[in-house]
Structure 1
Amino acid sequence: MDTSPRHILVAAAVVININNEILLINSPKRGWEIPAGRVEEGESLSAAIIRETKEETGIDIEIVRFCGVFQNVQDSVCSTLFLGRPVGGEFRTSNESYEIGYFSIDEALSKITWRGFKEQLEYCLNQTEPFLYEYNN
């Protein structure tokens, strides 16, 4: 029996356009949220969020900076967070995104209902240094 720990590693991004608006997707799982997804085996964290953003929104992004690591200790999930900016592509929905849009910071914060993503957005916008944030559900 394998007793090695099993963790889920996620990459997420706060993508801000030139109008200082946040890119959000309306997903079937959690409603409005920032682009995010699991890191695949052999994939870098930054490559994972660039890929996930493209898959979920059709938008190509460039990483501006690393914002930090969020850990849900209870569910053994580690989420890395990046700040990004759009560099190309066009909106395209997928099975992971019913709607896509750019929203003002206040609109984005009011649309996101999942606590983890709301906290990540707030921290990324207000932090200048990477950080580690741990929580239990």
Structure 2
Amino acid sequence: MSGQENIFIGVGAVVFKGDDILVIKRGKPPFQGQWSIPGGGLENGERLVDAVIREVREETGLEIELLGLLNVFEAIPAETGFPAHTILIDYVAEWISGEPAAADDAMEAEFVSMDEAVSRLSWDVTRQAVAQAVQKRKDFGGPS
């Protein structure tokens, strides 16, 4: 046994449109009904940057431009209750085109103000990522 059967590698994006941030409401278990940033699982043979662009497109219909890496988050089941050892790689992105239309694992998708995003997001780690993304966006040369 390789020990990797219960490891999940995922990607996500804090997507900006002006000062607003894209949030989605998850449509499938195990996180159905919870608010998050768009993202999902890495497919075998897929590059991380391709995965995050694909996930945003699948869940919201939007086209984005990645500005850079935001952070890496690790969750161990014994400490978090997540169903698998989870490694999430989050990026900062800018909206390019499209209007949010929930699909795939999203039951709702919309751009909201920073304050609204922070109040809706279901997990502290995601709220922290969004707060970090504001500064990282500036560091990457995006709008301030």
Please classify the TM superposition score into its range, dividing by the shorter chain length.
Answer: 0.7 to 0.9
Amino acid at match of 1:23: L
**Contact kept in structure 2, 1:30 and 1:114, CA below 8 Å:** no
Q: Deviations over 1:65-117 (max 9, x none)?
A: 11121111334110001000111123222142222111111110001122332
- Equivalent AA in structure 2 for residue 17 of structure 1: K
1:35-54 to 2 correspondences below 5 Å = 35-54=38-57
Give the TM-score taking structure 2 as reference length. Answer: 0.79
SS in 2 for 1:12: strand
Matches within 5 A, 1:6-45: 6=5, 7-18=7-18, 20-28=19-27, 29-45=32-48
Instruction: Tell me how far 1:32 sits from its aligned partner.
Output: 1.6
* 3-state SS in 1 of match to 2:106: coil
Residue of structure 1 aligned with 2:106, choices 97, 122, 131: 97
Does structure 2 conserve the Cα–Cα contact (< 8 Å) formed by 1:62 and 1:87? yes
Q: Report the secondary structure of 1:41's partner residue.
A: coil
Q: CA deviation at 1:30?
A: 4.6
Secondary structure, in 3 states, of the residue corresponding to 1:98?
strand
SS in 1 for 2:17: coil
C-alpha change, 1:110 and 1:67, in structure 2 (3 Å) is same
Alignment deviations for residues 16-69 of structure 1 (CA, whole Å, 9 cap, x no partner): 112x10001112325221001001011111110100000100101110111121
- Structure 1 residue 3 displacement after superposition: 3.3
CA distance in 1, matches of 2:59, 2:33: 14
* Pairwise CA distance, 1:124: 2.6
1:85 pairs with 2:94:
yes
Taking only the aligned residue pairs, the percentage that are identical comes to: 28
TM-score (norm 1): 0.83
- Contact 1:9/1:78 (CA < 8 Å) preserved in 2? yes
Q: List gaps (5 residues or longer) in structure 2.
A: 78-83
Aligned partner of 2:120 in structure 1 is 111
Report the 3-state secondary structure (helix = DSSP H, G, I; strand = E; otherwise coil) of the residue aligned with 1:56. helix
Partners of 1:46 and 1:55 in 2: CA distance: 14
Aligned partner of 1:72 in structure 2 is 75
